[in-house]
């Protein structure tokens, strides 16, 4: 892939144009990972509405998602006549983890929680990113202190791919206004103060003034609140 073009993505602000340009610049594999949060729905709309075909959209179904997440998944497929590829945890690993530790063992220690995240999310993600050149994400700097130092384009040395975060500098208001403007389906849990939505047992709503990530793994220290998907 042309390194000068990759660098130019840093300065592109129009989400539709930047994704079109990216898709037209290479025949190599480009993927977008969605968890159906509001940021991801912006990118999904930009891809599906503009018929950008050579970007594979996928999601990780952990088996512990909210019913509302499955609902917006279904609505997205129907509204855009789209295809979203699902990746699932390996049966044997989930069975071994649950049988050895219990169905909700992730509450018992950070180590067990991270092991659960690895089995349900990280390992399926690694399969989804096999032979990928560019991985598009919905990460925003506003989401977490850990993401303030991110760039729109980053080289992932471990996975040997470019990671593209086109919404990095968008505010929550900009995201919400985009969804309203284009009538994009969204997870209705967002209407009830759920900000960052993951697995149902590990996500709660947040109170006014709480940190963006306070609702994720709320029983843990703030510094440990990442699952390993984004390193």
Catalytic residues, which ones?
A: 227
Helix (H) or strand (E) holding 16: helix 15-24
SS3 180: helix
CA atoms within 13 A on the CB side of 162: 22
Burial of residue 122, with CB atoms counted within 10 A of its CB: 0-12 exposed, 13-18 middle, 19 or more buried = middle
Q: Which long-range contacts (CB under 8 A, 24 or more apart) does 225-228 make?
A: 225/144, 226/146, 227/114, 227/117, 227/121, 227/122, 227/198, 228/114, 228/117, 228/118, 228/121, 228/122
């Amino acid at each position: 892939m042309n390194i000068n073009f990759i660098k130019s993505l840093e300065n592109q602000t129009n989400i539709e144009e930047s994704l079109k340009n990216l898709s037209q610049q290479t025949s190599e594999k480009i993927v977008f990972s969605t968890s159906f949060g509001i940021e991801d729905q912006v990118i999904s709309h930009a891809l599906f509405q503009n018929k950008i075909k050579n970007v594979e959209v996928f999601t990780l179904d952990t088996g512990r998602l909210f019913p509302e997440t499955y609902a917006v998944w279904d609505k997205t497929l129907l509204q855009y006549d789209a295809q979203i590829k699902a990746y699932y945890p390996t049966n044997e690993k989930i069975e071994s983890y649950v049988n050895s530790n219990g169905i909700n063992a992730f509450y018992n220690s950070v180590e067990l929680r991270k092991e659960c995240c690895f089995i349900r999310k990280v390992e399926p993600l690694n399969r989804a990113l096999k032979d990928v050149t560019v991985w598009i994400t919905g990460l925003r700097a506003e989401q977490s202190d850990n993401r303030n130092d991110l760039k729109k384009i980053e080289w992932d040395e471990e996975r040997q791919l470019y990671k593209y975060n086109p919404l990095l500098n968008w505010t929550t208001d900009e995201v919400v206004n985009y969804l309203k403007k284009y009538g994009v389906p969204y997870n209705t849990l967002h209407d009830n103060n759920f900000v960052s939505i993951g697995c149902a047992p590990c996500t709660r709503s947040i109170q006014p003034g709480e940190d963006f990530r306070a609702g994720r793994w709320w029983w843990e220290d703030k510094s440990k609140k990442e699952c390993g998907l984004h390193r």
